[in-house]
Every structure is written in structure tokens, then in C-alpha cells.
Amino acid sequence: MKRLISFLALSATAFALEYATLQKISDGDTFTFKSQQRSEFKCRVFGIDTPEKFHTDKMDKDASKVGITAETMKKAGEASTQYAQQTLKVGKSYKVDVLEKDKYGRELCIVYDGENSYNEAIIKDGYAVVYKGGKYIKDDSLKRKLLQAQKEAKSNNRGLWNGSTKKIMEGME
């Protein structure tokens, strides 16, 4: 019984709202945080997808799918990373809602700067799309917000929805 209580207590605190200090921005949708409750943890921003900035098989596949070079895809990924760097600051504390872990062991998070969700902001500003069309987002309210933000970005040609990178975003939708 004691083990069950300990497990339940761990489960309740393992995925919860916490304040954490941003340690590193890897790309537009992956960060490293550190909190008082635990050591560093890798955060995959929940519900969004940004273009790849590192040369990987996924980058080659995505570039081929939309008919562009890997170098063009990399530049779009770098633009998403720059957006993250301009929006969030390393060393600053953010409210992080840790939802669950992904298959790579990263925490899936909603990151808040005040009351505003970074997840929604990066989509609204045109540097990310809703992950897999939103089919993995179980929270209907959040899903609607993210899809509405994407619709606004696309119709207003914001960020990567403008110019030659529009093809990338359409291919990621």
C-alpha cells in the first residue's frame, strides 16, 4: 500500500504546472528547462511542429515531400529558432505545464510567458503549424485555439506563411 501511495504522489507531481528556468533553446519547438523540483528536463512544445533546422533524415523527407532543398528547409527551421530566441529568454523563469512524455522521453509542455501560451503565439505568428493537424491534441479547447491561430497566420501571410517558405508550411499542415 505504501508503494502505491508513493507512486500516486509521484504521478501527481511528475506532470504538473511548475515554474522553470529556461536553460537552452534547441530549436523552435524543443527547449531545456530546470526547476526547483527537479534537475534539467527537455521540453517538446506540445501541439506544434516547426521546420527542421538540423540535417536529419526527417529534414530530407520533409524537404522532398514539399519539393525544396534541405538547405531551404534548414533556413526555415533557423527562422523558427530565431523566433523562439526573440520570444523567450534563456535564464528567465516561465510557467511550464508538463502534460506527459513523448516516445523519446521528452516532456510535452505548454509554456507560458505570463498568461500567454508560447504554443499558441508561435503558430499565430507563423513559425509553426499544429502538430499532425491536431489529431493528437485531446483537449478540444486547446486544439481549437491552435487551429484558429494557424488559420489566422496562413490567411494573413505571417512569418513562414509568406513568400517561398509558404510551401514548407503547407507541406507540414
Instruction: Give pLDDT tens digits for 22-59.
Output: 999 999 999 999 998 888 999 999 999 999 898 889 88
In this structure, how many other beta carbons lie within 10 angstroms of the beta carbon of residue 106? 16
Tell me the C-alpha distance between 49 and 173, whole Å.
9
Tell me what pLDDT residue 50 has. Answer: 94
Beta-carbon count within 10 A of 96 CB: 23
* C-alpha to C-alpha distance for 100 and 115, rounded to whole angstroms: 21
List, run by run, the mean pLDDT of 10-residue segments along the chain (173 residues): 35 66 97 92 94 89 88 94 98 95 89 94 97 72 92 97 91 87
Q: Where is 42: in which H helix or E strand?
A: strand 41-45
Residue ranges and CATH numbers for the domains of the chain are 2-172 (2.40.50.90)
Q: Could you give the C-alpha distances from 53 to 74, 156, 162, in angstroms and in order?
A: 4, 24, 18
- Which sign does the torsion angle of CA 73, 30, 123, 159 carry? negative
